[in-house]
Chain A
Amino acid sequence: MGKSYEHADAAPKTRVSRIRLPTIHDQGTHLPTSKVPLRIPAGRKFSALSLVRKGMTGGDWPLVWRHHELAPTYDVVIVGGGLHGLATAHYLAQNHGIANVAVIEKSYIGSGGSGRNTAIIRSNYLTPEGVAFYNRSVQLFEQLSQDLNFNVMFEQRGHMTLAHSDASLRTMRWRAEVNKVQGIDSQVIDPDEIAKLVPLMDVSANTRYPILGALWHPPGGIARHDAVVWTYARSADAAGVHLHMNTEVTGIEVKGDQVIGVQTSRGDISTPIVINCTAGWSSIISDMAGVKMPIHTRPLQAAVTEPVKAFLDPVIVSGSLHVYVSQTARGELVFGAATDPFASYSTRGSLEFIESLAGHVLQLMPSLAKMRLLRQWAGLCDMTPDFSPIIGPTPVGGFYVDVGWGTYGFKAGPVAGEQTAEAVATGRIPELIKAFQLDRFEKGALTGEKGAAAVGH
């Protein structure tokens, strides 16, 4: 028997790279984000030249998306104008030539989970299905700014998941191995290496929950979440998709077991295909079509501090302390937590959250004691029993879902849009989402994703 897992010293001494190791998708194959390159009309394209010209002349920027009247019929109606809905619309138009699509949003574009998440992107999950799925999303994020002509500020600064117990260190090793098999840069590092990457971190043995090691995932990072929503809105609009804001879906018409239309606050639409891309309200929309979802909705609270100089490079996550921290390009620290301890649709913050969050952050980085919080908010998480999403067809013909995004919806936006569009356009379930079908609960074949950040589980 070799060394047991009882000491952090047992962690293999591996090289800590700040530069991302080459992964499968770097080896000469450029995987385009869409099958047909996006065409933005000349006057609406963003470039350094247009920036200089507008700066000099004070000219107006073109609208990112246009307003349309509600048409009486569409080929596809997407419920929910967030990242998932817009990405689905974009890939339906770009990859499959289906552009007679309406995106129905009850508030403004990106007003739900897309604007409330903590913008973390990574692929170091635990199930092979999850790893492959989220890795495709990382690949899409890497090319998004270039291919869609919109800077989404994706920064691959590395993602660090701290282990405070032998059990979690063991899980980190397990995750690292599952990741490596799929060609993903992921390794377990020891406290000395953590201190090198994050000098402010308290890695001493004198804390309540000493840091024993971490899972280090260099391709992980953050992006500007609103920009990701806007780029998909802009490119979907350029392809001819209609975005209808301030339009609420009030009912879904089903005849026999086939969708025939959608009722909205601005009038009825007849359509053979409805895709539910909502988060938070997904079970309510699904109930309209008579499809019961194994989802319960919980708020997840987040907070942001005042901006300070850049000092924190990677994204820090601690499952045991229920906290994740990253520093935005603007210098604010963004904190996220576990889901609230009871089901609710309320998006109000609570004092208990701020108290426990501050305590946990200070335990990791005591020198932040004098920083002030600017604001806190809550977003809705659709928790599934196995912490994996539900993407694909339902027993009602023409009613597709892309729901069940607990704490992993933002990072999966591009890939979920791409795969949902493929499932809808081809009528076949793509390989990447085979494990995320609704009927897995009937079959008892769950995809238990213990690598999800639904930290409370």
Chain B
Amino acid sequence: MLLIECPHCGPRNGTEFTYSGKIQPRPVMKGSDFEARAEWRRYLYEEDNFAGFAKERWFHGNGCRKFLDIERHSVTNEISSVSPAGEAS
């Protein structure tokens, strides 16, 4: 069970939020050569899956309906920072 400190709404139950994956840099489109395609495949399929703090994007669907950047520990579920999406915390 998660308690997420939403910067807009305050502390809210984790069930109000939707997880939408880790934040990974999106490859820049460089034409259609093989290298660029391989890079896109890696971006699509190979999400980082380590044990530790990871930056993730969440959506507060049952609240302010804003996207958030959350740093969460993947083993303990401890949340170290929450900030509006795209803004450095």
Whether B77 lies near A343 (C-beta < 8 A) is no
Q: Which of B1, B18, B41, B42 contacts A352 (CB 8 A)?
A: B1
Residue in chain B with minimal CB distance to A441? B45
Chain A residues with CB below 8 A from B75, complex form: 344-346
- Name the prevailing secondary structure of the A interface residues: loop
- Return 20 A-B CB contacts under 8 Å, by A number: A284-B49, A292-B46, A295-B49, A296-B49, A297-B49, A341-B18, A342-B19, A343-B19, A343-B47, A343-B56, A343-B74, A344-B75, A345-B51, A345-B74, A345-B75, A346-B75, A346-B76, A352-B1, A385-B44, A442-B41
| Shortest Cβ distance from residue B64 to the other chain A in the assembled complex, whole angstroms | 19
**Quick one: CB contact mask for B3-47 with A, threshold 8 Å, 1 for yes?**
000000000000100110110000000000000001001101111
Interface size on B, residues (CB 8 A): 21
Contact A441 B41 (CB under 8 A): yes
A343-B51 Cα distance, complex, nearest whole Å: 11
Q: Is the CB of A294 within 8 A of B74?
A: no
Q: Does A420 contact B (CB under 8 A)?
A: no
The answer to whether B42 and A344 touch across the interface, beta carbons within 8 angstroms, is: no
**A-B contact count, CB below 8 Å?**
53
Q: Is the CB of B77 within 8 A of A346?
A: yes
Q: How far is the CA of A343 from the CA of B46 in the complex (A)?
A: 14
- Given A342-B56, A346-B77, 11 other A-B contacts at CB below 8 A? A284-B49, A293-B49, A294-B45, A343-B49, A343-B74, A345-B75, A346-B75, A351-B1, A385-B44, A385-B45, A444-B41
Assuming the A-B contacts A346-B76, A441-B41, are A296 and B47 also in contact, with contact meaning beta carbons closer than 8 angstroms in the complex? yes
Q: Is A263 an interface residue (CB 8 A)?
A: no
CB distance from A388 to the nearest CB of B (A): 13
Is A204 in contact with chain B by the CB < 8 A criterion? Answer: no
With A346-B75, A346-B77, A351-B1 as contacts: A294 and B15 at CB distance below 8 Å: no
Complex Cα gap A444–B75 (Å): 31
Q: Which residues of A contact B51 (CB under 8 A)?
A: 281, 284, 345
A437 to B40, CA, bound (A): 19
- Which B residues lie within 8 Å of A293 (CB)? 46, 49
Interchain nearest-CB distance for B87 vs A (Å): 21
- Select A350's contact among B1, B18, B42, beta carbons within 8 Å: B1
CA distance A346 to B15 in the complex (A): 16
- The complex places the Cα of A342 from the Cα of B76 at a distance, in Å, of 13
Residues of chain B lying within 8 A (CB to CB) of residue A344: 74-75, 77
List of A residues within 8 angstroms of B77 by Cβ = 344, 346, 348
- Alpha-carbon distance A295/B50, docked complex (angstroms): 10
The answer for the CA separation of A367 and B1 in the assembled complex, in Å, is 29
Q: Which residues of B contact A295 (CB under 8 A)?
A: 49
**In the complex, which residue of chain B has the Cβ closest to the Cβ of A295?**
B49
